[in-house]
Amino acid sequence: MVNKIQKIDLVILVGGRGNRISKYTKKIPKPIIEINNRNFLSYIVNHYSKYCFNNIYLLAGYKGKKIKHLYNNKLFNLIKVNCIVENKKLGTGGALSLLKHKVKNNFVLMNGDSFTDVDLSFLFKKNLQYKYDALIFLIKNLNYKSNSKLSNLRLDKNQVISYGGKYMNSGIYYFKKKILKNIPKKQISLESTILEKLIKNKKVKGKKIKSDFIDIGTYQNLDFAKKKFFKKFIKPAAFFDRDGVINHDYGYVHKMKDFKLKKGIIKMIKFLNKKKYNIFIVTNQAGIARGFYSEDEFISFSKKIKETFFNKNCFINDLQYCPYLKGSKINKYNKDSLLRKPGNKMIENLKKKWPIKQNQSFMIGDQKSDQICAKTSKIYFEYASDNIFKQIKCIIRNINSYY
């Protein structure tokens, strides 16, 4: 049974013009500047989509239609992205007014031109009833002075934020949805107007974290990001078929009552998370094409599976599926597709989306089509054994000793 988790949305501010790096932002908005063939915003969305957010909202301003074209209505690890483009300049604070009739849940807010690695798990697992309207994640200020308003913060014994300390805003916040009620639809600053007032009224709590802070707001910082950022994200990957590998295959499993994990799966995923592997599921879903369940039903079911792992303190980073089958009576699914294993397009899509150490990656499946798929993508493959945890440990040990 899946434990109930708190519904939270993710909101990302992607409206800045980027005047300080105008060489790059004359034609594109700052958050989609490319770093190693992937835009900066994709690193952020990919990373935080491992959590069970209800929706992801992008609040876009300058050249926002370009961001909308790339992201709107797309799924990132089963989470739908909604891009809202402002018609006039609203600033980092006024832009939140666009959410008043959209967001129904409390939400995490972050900047789309900076990255801090924050563990947000506790927000979902506790029914947070703060006396405060906001929570700011704080990092030590290592001479970062671009925003003096929020770069000299301190915490009292009750973790309430005030000014005059050695901590700075990480660019990541948790807000109650009620904060949106009084935000006017005009150009105001989140940092200098909304948060300053809340901090002075002692309505903001802080949580100290240890993490690097990377932003792309200046040429110097962007150059640093290009040199260091990719290294932070490139990881080995573990690709898994679903039915017969993750869970017992009873034939077109699409209901939680029929979803039975195979032995050692939770232990195995926790082990891979600890080893900094990205975990991907690649699954043929002919049941959609055959009309046994709809694509929406499959996505809803997959979200519950994701929550099952999340409640066990482990993460799946992404999922690819193929709903197509030649001969289907449903026209839109009646076609050959390289997404369908033994085709390898699901793996190739993930390789384009995520920076992967291919020589340390592997795939586990239970069908010949899985093996062919992995071989085509030059990914090491093994058939699933009865003791998959032991099998994974052996694979990683052998790969690491070889390389």
Active site residues: 241, 243
76-90 burial string, b = 16+ CB within 10 Å, else e? bbbbebbbbbbeeeb
Tokens of 391: 């099998």
d(C-alpha 45, C-alpha 291), whole Å? 32
307 neighbors 300 (Cβ within 8 angstroms): no
CA atoms within 13 A on the CB side of 237: 27
Strands 213-215 and 114-116: antiparallel
314 neighbors 278 (Cβ within 8 angstroms): no
d(C-alpha 70, C-alpha 231), whole Å? 24
CA distances from 137 to 50, 132, 173, 238, 367 (A): 19, 14, 6, 31, 46
Nearest to 155 by CA among 178, 143, 181, 137: 137
d(C-alpha 41, C-alpha 111), whole Å? 10
The residues, ordered by sequence, that sit 6+ positions from 239 with a Cβ below 8 Å of its Cβ are: 280, 281, 282, 347, 350, 361, 362, 363, 364, 374, 379
Angle made by CA atoms 356, 359, 360, in degrees to the nearest 5: 75
Reduce the DSSP state of residue 111 to 3 states and report it. Answer: strand
Per-state percent for the chain, helix, strand, coil, to nearest 5: 35, 25, 40
d(C-alpha 56, C-alpha 235), whole Å? 24
